[in-house]
Amino acid sequence: MVARDVPLARHRFTDRLPDRCHGHAVGVRRRQRAGRCATAGDVPVPVPLHRRGLELQPRRHHRRRHSADPGVADRGQPRRHLGRCAVGGAVGSQPALCVGSAGDQEQRPRGSARHQGGASRHRLRSTAGTGPALTVTGRLATITLRKPAAINAIGPEEIDAVTAALRAAVADASVATILIRGEGERGFSAGGDIKRVRTMIASGEVDALAEFWANEYRLNHLIDTCPKPVVSIAHGLTLGGGVGLASHASHRIVTDSTRLGMPEVLIGLSPDIGGLWLYSRAPGRTGAFAALTAAHLSAGDALYMGLADHYVPHGEIDDVVERLQYLHPAEALEGFDAQPPSWVADHRGAIDRVFGANSVLEILESARLLEEKSAVAEIAMASLAAASPTALCVTYEALCRAANMHGLTECLDQDLRVGQHCARHPDLTEGIRARVVDKDRKPNWCPPTLADVSPVDVERFFAPIGKPLRFSDW
C-alpha cells in the first residue's frame, strides 16, 4: 500500500424560557452589604443524576443528517485502507504532519470487531506522543485526542491540531466521513485545561487566553458547518470544551459510560463553546437545570435533551467504527435509536417547577419550598450553594439571551465576550483554586451571595470587550 500525504489545509424549539428571558437584566434584588467577600462553607456535592431511579422515555429529538451518497458508501465495494497521518507537535510549536505506511490489510467481513487482529491499522503516528492525531482508514478519517492521563484536556495546541486535522480531512477527496473520539477509558474529554487558564490570568495573559477561546469557538463553528458528516463518540466524561467538540457534530454518539455536562459555574465561569445554545433548546426548563447545577447527564439525558443522536452500547462501538469506514453514518448507525433511561425526563415536572422562575434567586427560593419533597430541589439547593453567585446570574441571563438567538455563531460571540469579563473577575481564579489546585472546595466568592449580585453587575459581562470574533467558512 502506497503512503500518501494528508494536506493541511439544527434544533427544534420546544418549551421556551420564561417570558422575562428577552435579553433583559436578571431580576435579582440586591441587598446592601459592606462589600466584603465572605467564605462559603462546605456544601454537599450534587449526586450524579445517573445514580437515581430511571425509566425508559420515548425519543424526542432529531438532528438533521447529511444525505447518504451511494457513490461514497457502496456495500458491494471492497474497503481500501489508506495511508495514515498524524497531526500534532510539541507544546508551543505549529502542528506537524507525519506520514506513515498503512501496509497491506486483509479485508474484513462487515461487523467484525477491530480488536480481532485489525487494531494495528489504527495505530497512530505523530511527532508528539500526546498530540491529537489524524488517521485515514477506508473512507473514514479519525481525529483522536490523545491525553488520556488528563482525560484529554484541551489547550491551545490541541485546538490548533484538531483544526488542522479537520481541514485536512475535508480537503482529502478520498475521505467521506470524519470521526472525532478520545483515547482512554475515562472519557472523551474533560474540557479545557483550567489550571493553565488560571496561570494565564495570573501572569496577565488575558489577551492570549481570549485568542485561545476564540480559536476554540471557531473550531466549534467549523464542526457545526462541516461539509462532510462528522461523527463524535462522547464516552465517559465529556465536559465543557469536550461538549463543544462532540455536540456540534452532525452524528453524535453516546454510550453506557457517558457523563456529559457544563460545570463552569462551579469555577466562576459561564458555560461557553455554544453550550447555552444547545441548552436553551432543550425541553422545558431542563437546559436551565443543567446549566445552573453543572449536572452530569447520562446517555439517556443527553438524547432526551437533544444533545446527542444515537445510543451505541459500549461493546458495539468498535463495530460501528468499522462500519463507518465504508458506510455513510446514516447507514452505519441505522438501528441505534434506542432511548436509554433518563433521570431528567423522569423528573421533568419538578425541574420545570423549580427552574421556571425568573431569576436564580427565585429558583433558589422555589427549591427551598420543595426541598423535602423533591430530589430536584435537593440537587438545586446543593449545586447553587456551591457555585459562584455571579457566574450563576450571568449564566441565567446568557441562557435567556441564547434562547432568542438565530444561530450558533451568535452564541459563540456572546461566549467570548462573557468569558473575557469572567477572566477579569476574581471568582474565576478563586474557583479554579478551590476546585482543582488546593481542592478545599471552600471558594471565597465575590460577592458571596446571590442577593448581592445586581442587574447592573450582570449587564457588565455582556459589554463589548477585546477583538470581535470572526468566523471563517469552508
User: What confidence tens digit (pLDDT) does each residue in 136-149 have?
Assistant: 999 999 999 999 99
Whether residue 39 is predicted with pLDDT greater than 80 in this model: the reply is: no
Better-predicted residue by pLDDT, 125 or 383:
383
Whether residue 201 is predicted with pLDDT greater than 50 in this model: the reply is: yes
Please state, in angstroms and rounded to a whole number, the distance separating the CA atoms of residues 213 and 192: 10
Please state, in angstroms and rounded to a whole number, the distance separating the CA atoms of residues 353 and 365: 11
Task: Say which amino acid occupies 336.
Answer: F
What SS3 state is found at 251?
strand
pLDDT at 100: 27
Please state, in angstroms and rounded to a whole number, the distance separating the CA atoms of residues 265 and 427: 10
Better-predicted residue by pLDDT, 82 or 357:
357
Whether residue 95 is predicted with pLDDT greater than 70 in this model: the reply is: no
What SS3 state is found at 19?
coil
pLDDT at 130: 78
Average pLDDT, integer, range 342-352? 96
Please state which of the ranges 3-17, 253-267, 382-396 shows the lowest mean pLDDT.
Answer: 3-17
Whether residue 409 is predicted with pLDDT greater than 50 in this model: the reply is: yes
Please state, in angstroms and rounded to a whole number, the distance separating the CA atoms of residues 370 and 356: 13
Whether residue 86 is predicted with pLDDT greater than 90 in this model: the reply is: no
Task: Say which amino acid occupies 461.
Answer: F
Average pLDDT, integer, range 362-382? 88
The answer to whether 82 and 2 are in contact (CB under 8 A) is: no
pLDDT band at 129 (very low <50, low <70, confident <90, very high): low
pLDDT band at 6 (very low <50, low <70, confident <90, very high): low
Whether residue 38 is predicted with pLDDT greater than 80 in this model: the reply is: no
State whether the Cα torsion 34-38-44-50 is positive or negative: positive
The domain spans of the chain are 49-105+118-460
The answer to whether 221 and 415 are in contact (CB under 8 A) is: no
pLDDT at 328: 97
Q: Counting Cβ atoms within 10 Å, is residue 16 exposed (0-12), middle (13-18) or buried (19+)? A: middle
Average pLDDT, integer, range 279-298? 98
Whether residue 19 is predicted with pLDDT greater than 50 in this model: the reply is: no
- Quote the percentage of the chain above a pLDDT of 70: 72
Please state, in angstroms and rounded to a whole number, the distance separating the CA atoms of residues 99 and 147: 21
What SS3 state is found at 303?
helix
What SS3 state is found at 254?
strand
pLDDT at 152: 97
| Mean pLDDT rounded to a whole number for the chain | 80
Average pLDDT, integer, range 126-137? 78
Whether residue 249 is predicted with pLDDT greater than 80 in this model: the reply is: yes
Average pLDDT, integer, range 286-309? 98
Please state, in angstroms and rounded to a whole number, the distance separating the CA atoms of residues 412 and 149: 29
The answer to whether 392 and 306 are in contact (CB under 8 A) is: no
Whether residue 75 is predicted with pLDDT greater than 70 in this model: the reply is: no
- Quote the percentage of the chain above a pLDDT of 90: 70
Give how far Cα 178 sits from Cα of 41, 83, 328, 373, 462, Å. 47, 15, 10, 47, 35
Average pLDDT, integer, range 194-220? 96
pLDDT band at 58 (very low <50, low <70, confident <90, very high): very low
CATH tag, 49-105+118-460: 3.90.226.10
Average pLDDT, integer, range 63-92? 36
Average pLDDT, integer, range 202-220? 96
Query: Each residue of 428-451: pLDDT tens digit?
Result: 999 999 999 999 999 999 999 999
pLDDT at 123: 35
pLDDT at 23: 37
Query: Each residue of 447-465: pLDDT tens digit?
Result: 999 999 999 999 999 999 9
Please state which of the ranges 39-43, 310-314, 322-326, 468-472 shows the lowest mean pLDDT.
Answer: 39-43
Please state, in angstroms and rounded to a whole number, the distance separating the CA atoms of residues 343 and 347: 6
Rg, Å, the chain Cα set = 22
Better-predicted residue by pLDDT, 391 or 106:
391
Pairing of strands 133-137, 177-182: unpaired
